[in-house]
Amino acid sequence: MEAMQVERIVAVLLHAAERKRLVPYQRFHAIFNASDPLTVRYEALEHAVVSLGEDSSLDYGVLLALCNGLPGDDFFRRFQKYRYEDFVSVMGVSAHWRSIKRRRTLVDAERSRVYDDAKRRAALRVVQMA
């Protein structure tokens, strides 16, 4: 994994968050060479998310979107790993975590938090430049 790829992922996710947009997985995968294995790609994504999330309190990876508008299983596994209690409070502890309705509830809340964080970051940049 190259640091440059992590930086590009961070830039793409921040850009999307500042504009309240989503990033198609195709855009994420375009950052890599076709020969790069998925494990390398998702490891880079995790590094980018952790660097943006300040102690795993936010997951900018929620901005990645499949055709249905939801992020892939990588987001839900990461969310469950780093914020288990929040995950269980919405998704439950059983197989219900496959529920599209519960997934949307979790994703909508996390996207709102990410958009708010991006707005805060942008405001800080403006203050720092002044």
Task: Determine the Cα–Cα distance for residues 60 and 38; give it in Å rounded to an integer.
Answer: 19
Answer positive or negative: Cα dihedral of 10, 51, 107, 82.
positive
Task: Determine the Cα–Cα distance for residues 35 and 51; give it in Å rounded to an integer.
Answer: 25
Comparing CA positions, the residue from 24, 17, 21, 27 lying closest to residue 49 is 17
Q: What angle do CA 21, 27, 28 make, to 5 degrees?
A: 100
Task: Determine the Cα–Cα distance for residues 57 and 38; give it in Å rounded to an integer.
Answer: 25
Task: Determine the Cα–Cα distance for residues 20 and 86; give it in Å rounded to an integer.
Answer: 23
Taking 3-state DSSP, the helix, strand and coil percentages for the chain, each rounded to the nearest 5, stand at 70, 5, 25
pLDDT on residue 56: 65
pLDDT in tens, 71-81: 999 999 999 99
Comparing CA positions, the residue from 74, 13, 17, 12 lying closest to residue 42 is 74
Task: Determine the Cα–Cα distance for residues 59 and 79; give it in Å rounded to an integer.
Answer: 7
7 pLDDT above the threshold of 80: yes
pLDDT in tens, 50-88: 999 775 689 999 999 999 999 999 999 999 999 999 999
